[in-house]
C-alpha cells in the first residue's frame, strides 16, 4: 500500500501543533503516535528487493527487523521530523523495532548543535546500537566543527565494552582525519583496541586505510613493525588496494607487504 507523503507529513506536523504535553503519559502517547506514523512512511518507501538486499548486508540482524528503505528516504523522513519539530518525540520512543528507525534516530542526532545534548543523546542511544548500518550513519554536522569535543567523546566511547559503541568511536576519529584534525594519540588508541569483533576490526582497518591517504608513513610503519593484529593489517591492506586513490607504487608496496604477512 502506498501512502501520500504530503498527507503523512501534515499529520505529523499537526500532532505537535494541536497541544503541549503536560505529563509523561501524554508525551509517551505522542511519541508512540509519531513512531507509528514514521513506520507507515517507511513502509510506503519500501520494496521487497531493497528489503532482501539490505538484509544480506546485515547478517547479524533478523530480516524481520529490516523494512527495506534507502538511506536517502531515511534522510527525507529525518529531515521532515526535524523541520516539523517532531524529532524529540520520535527519539523518545526508544527502543525502536526496525533498523531504519534506528538510522533515522542517528540522522536526527547528527543535526544537534549543542555538544552536551548531543553527547547525552548519543550515550542514551548506545545500548541500542547493534549493527554497522546504524553506527555508520553517525556524522554530527555541527559537533564535528569542534574537534576537541568530538575527540573527547570518541576517546571515551572507544573504551566501551559494546562493540558497536567502539565502532562509532573509531568512525568519529576517522572523520577527524578527513577534517585534517589528526592527532597521533588517536592513532595509538585505535592500534591498542583489544577486541576480535569483526565489525570493530573492519572499522579499525577503514580508519588505517583512511589515515594512509594523509599519513602514509605512519601506516607503512604500522603494517611492518607494529603489534597490531595480523587480521587487521590484512584488512587494512585490502581496503588500501580497493581505494581508487592509491597510487601505483603504493599498490606494489602493499602487495609486497601482504606477501610478507602471509608468511607470518
The domain total for the chain is 2
- Which long-range contacts does 212-221 make (Cβ < 8 Å, 24+ apart)? 212/236, 212/240, 212/246, 212/250, 213/243, 213/245, 214/177, 214/180, 214/182, 215/182, 215/187, 216/250, 218/187, 220/253, 220/257
Same domain, 21 and 101: yes
Judgement on whether residues 26 and 130 belong to the same structural domain of the protein:
yes
Q: pLDDT tens digit string along 55-101?
A: 999 999 999 999 999 999 999 999 999 999 999 999 999 999 999 99
pTM (predicted TM-score) = 0.87
Q: Is the peptide bond before 227 cis (omega within 30 degrees of 0)?
A: no
- Please tell me the distance from the alpha carbon of residue 209 to that of residue 220, in angstroms, as a whole number: 11
Residues 6+ apart with CB under 8 A from 152: none
Specify whether 131 is located in the same domain as 259.
no
Same domain, 31 and 79: yes
Do both 235 and 114 map to the same domain? Answer: no
Angle at 60 between CA 54 and CA 65, to 5 degrees: 55
Using one digit for the tens of pLDDT, what is the confidence trace for 31-48?
668 888 999 999 999 999
Going by pLDDT thresholds of 50, 70 and 90, the confidence category of residue 125 is very high
Domain extent, residue 109, equals: 1-145
Question: What is the residue-averaged pLDDT of the chain?
Answer: 90
Do 104 and 213 lie in a common domain?
A: no
- The answer on 167 and 100 residing in a single domain is no
Amino acid at each position: 500500500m502506498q501512502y501520500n507523503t504530503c498527507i503523512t507529513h501534515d499529520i505529523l506536523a499537526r500532532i505537535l501543533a494541536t497541544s503541549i504535553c503536560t505529563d509523561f503519559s501524554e508525551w509517551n502517547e505522542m511519541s508512540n503516535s509519531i513512531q507509528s506514523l514514521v513506520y507507515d512512511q517507511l513502509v510506503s518507501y519500501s520494496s521487497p528487493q531493497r528489503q532482501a538486499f539490505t538484509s544480506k548486508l546485515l547478517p547479524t540482524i533478523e530480516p524481520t527487523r529490516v523494512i527495506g528503505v534507502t538511506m536517502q528516504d531515511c534522510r527525507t523522513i529525518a529531515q521532515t521530523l526535524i523541520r516539523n519539530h517532531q524529532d524529540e518525540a520520535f527519539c523518545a520512543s526508544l527502543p525502536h523495532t526496525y533498523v531504519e528507525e534506528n538510522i533515522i534516530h542517528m540522522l536526527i542526532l547528527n543535526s544537534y548543535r549543542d555538544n552536551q545534548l548531543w553527547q547525552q543523546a548519543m550515550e542514551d542511544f548506545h545500548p541500542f546500537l547493534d549493527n554497522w548500518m546504524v553506527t555508520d550513519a553517525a556524522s554530527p554536522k555541527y559537533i564535528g566543527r569542534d574537534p576537541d569535543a568530538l575527540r573527547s567523546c570518541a576517546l571515551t566511547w572507544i573504551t566501551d565494552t559494546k562493540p558497536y559503541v567502539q565502532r562509532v568511536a573509531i568512525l568519529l576519529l576517522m572523520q577527524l582525519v578527513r577534517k585534517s584534525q589528526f592527532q597521533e594519540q588517536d592513532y595509538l588508541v585505535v592500534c591498542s583496541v583489544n577486541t576480535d569483533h569483526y565489525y570493530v576490526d573492519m572499522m579499525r582497518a577503514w580508519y588505517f586505510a583512511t589515515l594512509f591517504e594523509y599519513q602514509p608513513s605512519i601506516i607503512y610503519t604500522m603494517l611492518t613493525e607494529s603489534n597490531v593484529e595480523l587480521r587487521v593489517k590484512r584488512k587494512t591492506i585490502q581496503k588500501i588496494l580497493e581505494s581508487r586513490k592509491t597510487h601505483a607504487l603504493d599498490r606494489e608496496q602493499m602487495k609486497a607487504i601482504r606477501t610478507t604477512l602471509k608468511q607470518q
